[in-house]
Structure 1
Amino acid sequence: MDDEDLRERLEQRLMSHGVYVTDLETDDGTLRIDYETATPGDGIPHREVGRVLNRLLALCDDGWDPTDVAGTVSDIDGNRLGTWRADGEWLVAHDRGELSDVDLSQRVLDTIEET
């Protein structure tokens, strides 16, 4: 699955949740996703991080190979809220049933760096 196909599939599922993908590319083995959130407030909405991850994990069945993921989140005015990441090995372990939803979520939430 190439980046263009991946972006289209993510956009289709995330827009209804107020998550708007503004950029997506694979660079040096890391999938970099920039998106805007329509959720008001300060900081990165944790629920949306989960939605992005869940969409990616669902795409494993469609041919997406889990890799490192780096997310950059902005508000709808373009103000950067922060970043988060998910290691590819965590996603592979989750896909194999070796890492629970809760453990994966906690690992990713622990990486959040708010601006």
Structure 2
Amino acid sequence: MRISREVTKQLPEEVKWVDAGLTVAARMIDDNARGSLHGGRLPDAVADLVQASRSVQRSLYEAIKLALSQGHTFDDLANESHLSTEYLREAYESFDPSRDARPGPGEDGREPWRVLG
């Protein structure tokens, strides 16, 4: 699977940051994790997937922040993502963008984003 990077129009600066995070995650998965998996290096594949997850979590936070700044509400976003408004709001507000995103529970036993399963 190759990730197409064709951009047909110039992206606003704030969208470029979200796009960059998604690009890093996609490359981590497509190049690194798949290569490690196919090469039988399972610990490396797991590490690559954790890093990709971290990048996606930060991009998710930034995308929600951008959507809110453009007038969307947590209700709008929760409806589109099939989550409860309260869950999405709490996950967003508890996410600390100054720390590395966590792919699992933190010291308090809570997971900042459990939207994948």
Q: Tell me, yes or no, whether TM beats 0.5.
A: no
TM-score (norm. length: structure 2)? 0.39
TM-score (norm. length: structure 1)? 0.40
In proportion to residue count, which structure has more helix? 2
Larger radius of gyration: 2
